[in-house]
């Protein structure tokens, strides 16, 4: 275990004792808000300390086993115990490092996913549609709910732009790594000479804001337009101005929803998307300022970054942020993103742990 990790954990043990005393104090019990805050911290710290105590017990077991090595009758058993203790210690060490990482409160939220066609014309729109399908399949495998908030289909299939709402525990925390520029290399269906073309699409993943945050928008700064929804929807959707577009006048950022038949529900969803986009704008600006002093590989929020290449002739997927290459492209396009997301989470964890060590 790294010295700074052990020092941090020892401080957490001391903090748990402080929290025990604080929660027993009469003035804390009288303040329900403070009591809840301290109780949450106590639960989180207690979980961390419990794992650390297991680590210390296995560490002691290893020391005891080592002391038995000189005894010929106990040497084999002692060696086995030492080896097993080492495996357990490495597992617990990794778990403790994960628990020490700063928590992003947005990670547990639902997510809005925007997919837009980029350079490449019709082929780019087709690719954007495949990315939306890939993310939808992955979400469905996680048993998350997916709904289309707005869409702008292209003539040959796919999307010029589509916005999805993904609802499920931890949706944003996993899908956040899809934000950025995606590049595809393949022979388009419209190509008659068999030449490989390169096209691009962008993905932006934003945490869904709290319902209370949506009302913080100043109505005086909003322009709300209604229009007749396009696309599938039957007779009703073509006869009523149910689709809603909301424009935030100070920034020019817009959001629209045409999924529901109710103008009221479409307006509520559009306001949620608008709030998410405004928050993402603030997040990106903060990330850009931080990147000026330290350049992070993951989670920069810069949508212009080329984060991933999908090479169909070679069946190869490459994530450029962590130099990950997988030869399972067709499975990934069917939503098998687990290996990619796990590798990105591990890399992000290592980066956050290095930052934590630097601060301490």
The encoded tokens of residue 134 equal 């890939």
- φ, ψ of residue 232 to 5 degrees: the values are -65, 155
**Architecture, CATH, for domain 3-100:** Up-down Bundle (1.20)
Burial of residue 277 (number of CB atoms within 10 Å: 0-12, 13-18, 19+): buried
* Poorest-pLDDT segment among 64-68, 169-173, 295-299: 295-299
CATH 3.30.70.1660 fits 105-292+302-351, yes or no: yes
For residue 339, how many other CB atoms are within 10 A of its CB? 14
**Percent of the chain scored above 70 by pLDDT?**
89
Task: For the chain, give the longest Cα–Cα distance.
Answer: 89
pLDDT at residue 261, as a whole number: 67
- Give the integer Cα–Cα distance in Å for 291 and 286: 9
Higher-pLDDT residue of 313 and 157 is 313
In this predicted structure, the answer to whether residue 56 has a pLDDT above a threshold of 80 is yes
Average pLDDT over residues 178-188: 92
3-state secondary structure at position 110: coil
Between the alpha carbon of residue 60 and those of residues 52, 56, 69, 82, 359, the distances in Å are: 12, 6, 15, 10, 30
pLDDT at residue 280, as a whole number: 83
Sign of the CA dihedral running 32, 35, 40, 46: negative
Tell me the pLDDT tens digit for each residue of 136-149: 999 999 999 999 99
pTM: 0.73
The encoded tokens of residue 151 equal 């869409």
DSSP 8-state code for residue 102: P
Non-local CB neighbours of 315 within 8 Å, separated by 6+ positions? 327, 328, 329, 330
Sorted by where each begins, the domain ranges of the chain are 3-100, 105-292+302-351
**Residue position matching structure tokens 């603030």:** 282
């Amino acid at each position: 275990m790294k010295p700074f990790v052990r020092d941090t954990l020892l401080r957490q043990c001391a903090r748990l004792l402080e929290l025990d005393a604080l929660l027993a104090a009469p003035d804390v019990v009288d303040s329900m808000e403070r009591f809840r805050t301290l109780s949450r911290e106590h639960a989180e710290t207690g979980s961390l300390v419990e794992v650390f105590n297991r680590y210390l017990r296995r560490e002691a077991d290893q020391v005891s086993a080592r002391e038995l090595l000189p005894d010929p009758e106990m040497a084999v058993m002692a060696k086995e115990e030492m080896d097993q203790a080492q495996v357990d210690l490495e597992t617990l060490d990794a778990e403790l490092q994960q628990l020490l990482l700063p928590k992003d409160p947005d990670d547990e939220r639902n997510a809005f996913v925007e997919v837009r066609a980029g350079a490449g014309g019709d082929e780019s729109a087709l690719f954007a549609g495949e990315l939306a399908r890939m993310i939808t399949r992955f979400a469905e495998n996680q048993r998350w709910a997916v709904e289309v908030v707005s869409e702008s289909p292209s003539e040959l299939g796919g999307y010029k732009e589509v916005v999805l709402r993904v609802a499920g525990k931890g949706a944003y925390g996993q899908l956040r790594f899809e934000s950025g520029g995606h590049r595809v290399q393949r022979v388009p269906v419209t190509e008659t000479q068999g030449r490989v073309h390169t096209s691009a699409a962008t993905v932006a993943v934003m945490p869904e804001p709290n319902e209370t945050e949506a009302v913080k928008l100043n109505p005086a700064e909003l322009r709300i337009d209604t229009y007749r929804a396009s696309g599938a929807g039957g007779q009703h959707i073509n006869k009523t101005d149910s689709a809603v577009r909301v424009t935030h006048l100070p920034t020019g950022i817009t959001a629209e929803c045409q999924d529901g038949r109710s103008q009221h529900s479409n307006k509520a969803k559009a306001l949620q998307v608008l709030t998410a986009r405004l928050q993402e704008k603030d997040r990106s600006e903060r990330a850009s300022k931080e990147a000026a002093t330290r350049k992070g590989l993951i989670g920069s929020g810069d949508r212009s970054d080329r984060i991933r290449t999908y090479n169909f002739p070679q069946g190869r997927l490459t994530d450029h942020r962590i130099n990950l290459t997988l030869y399972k492209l067709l499975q990934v396009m069917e939503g098998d993103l687990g290996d990619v997301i796990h590798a990105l989470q591990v890399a992000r964890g290592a980066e956050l742990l290095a930052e934590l060590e630097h601060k301490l």
